[in-house]
Copies of this chain bind each other. A is one copy, B any other.
């Protein structure tokens, strides 16, 4: 006679980004049941999102259906939906796809655009956080070029052909370079009959330097590369507001621009507000050294959403932080159900940061190493390949992305965007 089986620990992971997906995959051999909730049906390879916005990649090349990723994982299942309430005491959440119970809850909902409460910025600027953002930006830029070709007013044409990028972090820098390349390589030939000379890309940064987290020598190299690509770099140039006419700068001047890309601020996703805890900087959820939410039993937060209190924290909002935190939580949960050793506090190991500035040019900062230009770009390629291979043992799908990216051989099963229908229920 055997004892009735012990119910397995139910782990609910919210968010299928780098953190959430790494966690789910890392638990694939653990004796737990994992539910993964996300409001999109795909995981997004966000480092290349700007390439969708600049018409270089198809959505399906950077987005992969979550169900395809989890196909081989017997202890995991996916739910498409949005978190609407967390009942911490009852170990239960409400979602747009119905209620879900849990024994352990891991919030990995990432970050969102921060428009700093400005209605003008929120209404006019294009964020760059998900596929809908990127496709809207691509469509808008291409439509602005078409309008410029049809316009007889030189000043209006100039406005339509100006793209302002607010915020010169990695996304802003990559985006600026990519838009100039789109204009130089492709659009000048497409629009030769329209006789318009140039697409202006104006990169606006409030701080006195761009790429704040990089070494000054790399910052200077990035400025040189951007200028060679004819991106106009404006440092110490904050954005006060955005109107129909263009960008209102802190000095009161208005830069006429039909397109404004907003990469000047992100904040934690609003999920934290459902927890009833006092939120940290940029709406992040305070967690202890074991990534447990302060004051909420059995609830973890990882990635951009989490603000680690204590030595080493808080950590920057970067994919490697989310991935390392996911691995840490997975080890804790695994140790817990197997009765293993206690787990040491989380400690982030910075393996370096990189940013591409378009074709054949990147900057990289790995420990004490500083690389830029073509060498930086080769390093960027190499490190990404190494990361992909290293990642493979944990997330099989990364190899599929490489496959997809180089051979472009994949079916498309994405819920992205389409003709709007008013009777479509909300997800």
Binding site for B on A (CB under 8 A): 41, 52, 55-60, 65, 67-68, 71, 77, 79-81, 97-98, 123-124, 132-140, 142-143, 146-147, 149-150, 152, 186, 189-194, 244, 407-409, 411-421, 423-425, 427
Contacts and interface: CB of A to CB of B under 8 A. Distances in A.
Given A52-B412, A55-B411, 9 more contacts: A67-B190, A77-B194, A79-B149, A143-B415, A146-B427, A186-B411, A417-B417, A417-B419, A420-B420
Contact of A146 (B58, B80, B412, B424): B80
16 contacts: A55-B412, A55-B414, A58-B60, A71-B189, A77-B194, A79-B150, A80-B150, A134-B418, A135-B419, A136-B420, A139-B416, A142-B413, A244-B423, A416-B417, A417-B417, A417-B418
Contacts of A98: 150, 152
A423 B124 contact: yes
B418 A135 contact: yes
Nearest to A427: B143
B139 A412 contact: no
Contacts of A143: 41, 80, 415, 424-425, 427
Given A80-B143, A146-B41, A150-B80, A55 B413 contact: yes
Contacts of A412: 52, 55-58
Contacts of A191: 67
Contact of A423 (B67, B79, B123, B133): B123
Contacts of A413: 55, 142, 186, 190
A156 B233 CA distance: 56
Contacts of A140: 421, 424
Of A58, A65, A414, A424, the most chain B CB neighbours within 10 A belong to A58
Contact of A418 (B58, B77, B139): B139
A150 B407 CA distance: 35
A419 B186 contact: no
Contacts of A60: 58
Given A55-B411, A412-B57, A418-B139, A147 B193 contact: no
Contacts of A146: 41, 79-80, 97, 427
Contacts of A427: 143, 146
Of A138, A418, A423, the most chain B CB neighbours within 10 A belong to A418
Given A143-B80, A150-B80, A136 B190 contact: no
A188 B139 CA distance: 34
B416 A142 contact: no
B55 A58 contact: no
A170 to B, nearest CB: 22
A382 to B, nearest CB: 23
A418 B142 contact: no
A299 B59 CA distance: 41
A136 B58 contact: no
A414 B413 CA distance: 19
A419 B133 contact: yes
A132 B190 CA distance: 24
A81 B421 CA distance: 23
A119 B208 CA distance: 59
Nearest to A422: B123
A21 to B, nearest CB: 16
Contacts of A132: 418-419
Contacts of A56: 411-412
A75 to B, nearest CB: 10
B142 A415 contact: yes
A142 to B, nearest CB: 5
Contact of A139 (B124, B152, B408, B415): B415
